[in-house]
């Protein structure tokens, strides 16, 4: 496939005012100026539109909390077990959930799907493409991380069951104990396989990070404290009060997945919710991804969150990076997706004008070299 007459925002330090993108199978094989475009039997004329990398939501629950369903479709939290790091979210994802179609049609081509935050340790995270009927065939990276949660959510859920953890101390202690258990497990020569310890062994070996649900500043610091104690990597999810501690986060080189910002202050931890968080973090030098936390904010509004971040002080380039290459980098998948470059997956969203303009309309979505039919703007 050959895409022609297109303004290309590569997210790779070089843009094209009028260029082409050449695709072979599922990969980009060449990008260049229009006058050097090769021949191809399959041509898509963008007619001066804008091409960007397929967008990436670095934290959501797509296909896990079923659309228009109740308990039957709720598979994100194994509430009875506060230490559920052995669970794999791929066993809960339904790619036929219609919100996958919403994602595709909105130009969201890769999603990082996470367990919920009811437990101190919630399970193993995966990145998947949004086009396919079988989860095994759309995996980008698995496991991508292990989910842990601090603050209000695990406290509230387990207090209702009169079981630990019911304090922030107990939540942190439970995560520490699980990591200590995994350290001991790694040292054993003859051992019976333990799925919980196997999951955290990957974290302790620095193969994958922790993704830490944390809204309040003190909870963010607790997540960082534990990561330093065990010399492991941690990414902050939500970071509602991250703007209050931006310089500290920059000093510790901590990535933050900001969002959902397009929501109400539904619980005490969200008292300081503001759309300026991403802008303040960007100015401080913190790498940021913008996320929907779908279904909290529907997945098809990922671009809108970027547009609103710009309205509240983030640079256009920074906001676009936050839903493409920086989202990929934070997720550890920036060797495959997040920019338009030779050898990268042919995941492309084509708009009629600059996508950061509120009135921009998506014209065509391509995922893995496959054109997605009938894109809409819902």
The answer to whether residues 67 and 175 belong to one domain is yes
Angle 250-253-257 from CA coordinates, rounded to 5°: 85
Contact 290, 256 (CB under 8 A): no
Q: What angle do CA 273, 279, 285 make, to 5 degrees?
A: 120
Q: Residue 116 maps to which CATH number? A: 3.20.20.140
Element (H, E) at 377: none
Asked if pLDDT for residue 181 goes beyond 90, the answer is yes
Which DSSP helix (H) or strand (E) runs through 282?
Answer: helix 277-284
- Closest among 352, 330, 336 to 109, alpha carbons compared: 336
Q: 70: pLDDT confidence band, cut at 50, 70 and 90?
A: confident
pLDDT digits (tens, 9 = 90+) for 269-285: 999 999 999 999 999 99
**Alpha carbon distance 27, 10 (integer Å):** 14
CATH number for the domain harbouring residue 378: 2.30.40.10
89 and 7 within one domain? no
Distances 57 to 140, 221, 290, 331 between C-alpha atoms, Å: 13, 24, 7, 10
By residue range, what is the domain housing residue 25?
1-54+338-378
Nearest to 109 by CA among 85, 144, 138: 138
Same domain? For 347 and 255 the reply is no
pLDDT at residue number 376: 54
User: Does the structure show a pLDDT above 60 at 302?
Assistant: yes
- Number of domains forming the structure of the chain: 2
Report the SS3 class of residue 39: coil
Residues 349 and 279 in one domain: no
The secondary structure element, H or E, covering residue 32 is strand 27-33
* pTM to 2 decimal places: 0.96
């Amino acid at each position: 496939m050959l895409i022609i007459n297109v303004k290309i925002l590569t997210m790779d330090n070089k843009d094209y005012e009028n260029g082409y993108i050449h695709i072979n199978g599922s990969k980009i094989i060449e990008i260049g100026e229009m006058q050097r475009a090769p021949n191809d039997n399959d041509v898509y004329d963008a007619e001066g539109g804008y091409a960007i990398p397929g967008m990436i939501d670095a934290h959501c629950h797509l296909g896990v909390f079923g659309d228009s369903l109740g308990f039957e479709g709720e598979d994100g939290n194994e509430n009875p077990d506060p230490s559920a790091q052995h669970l794999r979210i791929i066993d809960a994802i339904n790619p036929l959930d219609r919100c996958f179609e919403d994602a595709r049609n909105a130009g969201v081509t890769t999603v990082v799907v996470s367990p919920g935050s009811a437990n101190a340790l919630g399970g193993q995270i995966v990145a998947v493409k949004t086009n396919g009927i079988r989860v095994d065939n759309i995996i980008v990276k698995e496991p991508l991380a292990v989910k842990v949660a601090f603050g209000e959510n695990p406290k509230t859920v387990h207090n209702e069951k009169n079981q630990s953890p019911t304090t922030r101390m107990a939540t942190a202690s439970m995560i520490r104990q699980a990591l200590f258990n995994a350290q001991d497990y790694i040292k054993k020569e003859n051992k019976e396989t333990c799925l919980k310890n196997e999951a955290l062994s990957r974290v302790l070996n620095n193969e994958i990070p922790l993704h830490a649900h944390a809204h309040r500043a003190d909870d963010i610091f607790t997540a960082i404290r534990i990561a330093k104690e065990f010399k492991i990597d941690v990414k902050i999810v939500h970071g509602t009060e991250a703007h209050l501690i931006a310089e500290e986060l920059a000093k510790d080189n901590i990535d933050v997945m900001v969002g959902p910002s397009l929501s109400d202050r539904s619980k005490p931890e969200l008292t300081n919710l503001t759309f300026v968080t991403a802008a303040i973090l960007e100015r401080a030098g913190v790498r940021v991804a913008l996320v929907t936390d779908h279904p909290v904010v529907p997945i098809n509004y990922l671009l809108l969150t970027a547009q609103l971040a710009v309205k509240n002080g983030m640079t256009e380039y920074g906001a676009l990076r936050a839903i493409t290459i920086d989202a990929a980098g934070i997720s550890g998948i920036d060797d495959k997706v997040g920019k338009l470059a030779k050898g990268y997956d042919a995941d492309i969203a084509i708009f009629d004008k600059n996508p950061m303009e509120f009135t921009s309309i998506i014209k065509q979505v391509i995922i893995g070299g496959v054109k997605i039919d009938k894109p809409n703007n819902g």
